[in-house]
Amino acid sequence: MQTGFATRPALVFGATGTDDVVAAVSHAAGAGLPLGVQATGHGVPGDWEGGVLISTRRMDTVRIDPGTRTATVGAGARWGQVVAASVAHGLAPLNGTAPSVGAVSYTLGGGLGILGRTFGYAADHVRAVDVVTADGVPRHVTADSDPELFWGLLGGGAQLGVVTSLEIGLVPVARLYGGALAFDGREVDPADVLRGYERWTRTLPDEVTSSLAALVYPDLPQLPPHLRGRYLLLIRIASTGSAADGERLVAPLREIGPTVSDTLHEMPYAESPAIHGDPDFPHAYYGDNVLLGELDPAAGAELLALTGPAAPSMHVVQMNHLGGALARPAANAVPYREAGWLIRILSPLDGTDVATLRALHAEAFGLVAPRALGRSLNFAFGGNDRPQDLYDPETLKRLAVLKATYDPANLFTYHHGTP
Ligand SMILES: Cc1cc2nc3c(=O)[nH]c(=O)nc-3n(C[C@H](O)[C@H](O)[C@H](O)COP(=O)(O)OP(=O)(O)OC[C@H]3O[C@@H](n4cnc5c(N)ncnc54)[C@H](O)[C@@H]3O)c2cc1C
């Protein structure tokens, strides 16, 4: 949960079902108050005060139909619940790295998951959306019933209504070859790790999804000794191929230099959250990102140097290799399919103010700007300052028409996508 920004609503509806959501939307619309939704509070867009907030926390049912490989996911369900329910049937959802993240909002923002290059964005696998629009009307929206609204809800984020549940397709994945290789950035040159990793990604089949993370772990006694105070570069991998193919594919990465740890192994899908080990405790953070056509390793290395141990405060950099099924066109508003890379910077708000972090992020993203296409909605944390480049102009225009049709009074303002 994000604790860096304050949400101070005038009224909170603890919704238990669609009727409560309809009542909350009708109340906010009638009173002329802005309306926000919160499932987990991970994606708080910024400081927000005085409106009506719907908490969907209690609407967390997950139903699996193994015959049609479908999960019906309530608005408050977290990925951990959906994964647990799916693996019982030898199936997997297109979840992200953290079990504590809300499945619905993640999917509305596109959803870049650990199997992204094999199966595409989570939004590409949605079969139906149940949503309450600003007029208080509950709608069951499919690609057949209302293709334009269906298109806009998936990728458009939270700006068109309150989603009460999603029907999502599951994939027949019961196991993975995956884990992380960790290099000490003070022993192996980070530029060499990045160069080796980028070169390696050019050879990969679509069954491999991976990313590079770089961070200085704080010197805290709660952390295991092999992490404390270390500057680590972690290459995280999830492959749906066999363990033998995985071992063969990762061989060039193991030659980059000595590793601090190497957790690559075959695992049941239920174990996959261990690949990234995202924090599951509340904390304060500011984050931004850029989608690139290609990654220039020299510019990427400069970005690592700026955000690494010499930086005045801590930053977590992630470079996600895209392409594969993520590049396939789909009937939704997830933009920038041509992007080859996503670079994210997440900066804890541990005494450093947002303005200072914004300036550092601008400098860092400026280094890779010549290849920039835009930004990803899901990785804009507390950064509601320039929503325009979250979409290409054509997608932005189509979303604006939907917004004018379904929310002309701009009731839904509690998200990063409101221009
Ligand atoms: C630790 C961590 C790991 C992450 N990993 C990934 C990842 O691997 N891939 C990825 O794509 N993203 C990832 N994200 C980003 C995440 O998908 C977004 O922040 C997402 O919006 C969080 O949703 P939430 O429900 O947990 O948060 P919330 O703060 O509850 O909601 C976030 C936004 O969605 C809106 N919203 C929530 N529920 C609804 C609803 N029912 N209807 C309409 N709008 C709604 C809210 O109003 C708010 O604007 C990660 C985030 C964190 C904190």
Distance 225 CA to ligand 1 centre (A): 32
Please tell me the CATH code under which domain 62-172 is placed. 3.30.465.10
- Please give the distance of CA 60 from its chain centroid, rounded to a whole number: 19
Contact, 193 vs 233, CB < 8 A?
A: yes
Q: Which of 2, 1, 4 is nearest to 349 (CA)?
A: 4
Distance 379 CA to ligand 1 centre (A): 9
How do strand 48-49 and strand 7-8 relate by DSSP bridges? parallel
Round to whole Å and give the CA distance between 127 and 324: 22
Output the six-digit token pair for 260: 């601090």
Domain borders along the chain are 7-55, 62-172, 175-387
Distance 229 CA to ligand 1 centre (A): 30
**DSSP secondary structure code for residue 222 in this structure:** T
Instruction: Name the residue of 101, 129, 285 whose CB sits within 8 Å of the most ligand 1 atoms, as the mutation to test its pocket.
Output: 101
Output the six-digit token pair for 140: 């069951």
Round to whole Å and give the CA distance between 296 and 305: 14
Please tell me the CATH code under which domain 175-387 is placed. 3.40.462.20
Order across the sheet with 11-14: list the strands: 11-14, 52-55, 35-38
Round to whole Å and give the CA distance between 79 and 101: 6
Contact, 104 vs 166, CB < 8 A?
A: yes
Round to whole Å and give the CA distance between 412 and 408: 10
Q: Could you read off the pLDDT of 313-340 as tens digits, one per residue? A: 999 999 999 999 999 999 999 999 999 9
State the distance between the two ends of the chain, measured CA to CA, in whole angstroms.
25
Q: Which fold has domain 7-55?
A: 3.30.43
Question: pLDDT tens string for the chain (419 positions)?
Answer: 778 888 899 999 999 999 999 999 999 999 999 999 999 988 887 888 899 999 999 999 999 999 999 999 999 999 999 999 999 999 999 999 999 999 999 999 999 999 999 999 999 999 999 999 999 999 999 999 999 999 999 999 889 999 999 999 999 999 999 999 999 999 999 999 999 999 999 999 999 999 999 999 988 887 878 788 999 999 999 999 999 999 999 999 999 999 999 999 999 999 999 999 887 777 888 999 999 999 999 999 999 999 999 999 999 999 999 999 999 999 999 999 999 999 999 999 888 888 999 999 999 999 999 999 999 999 988 765 677 799 999 999 999 999 999 999 999 987 766 54
Q: Could you read off the pLDDT of 162-207 as tens digits, one per residue? A: 999 999 999 999 999 999 999 999 999 999 999 999 999 999 999 9
- Please give the distance of CA 92 from its chain centroid, rounded to a whole number: 17
Distance 261 CA to ligand 1 centre (A): 30
Output the six-digit token pair for 408: 């002309």
Provide the 10 A C-beta neighbour count for residue 28: 25
Round to whole Å and give the CA distance between 397 and 37: 24
Contact, 190 vs 213, CB < 8 A?
A: no
Ligand 1, atom nearest to 162 Cα: 42
Round to whole Å and give the CA distance between 161 and 29: 12
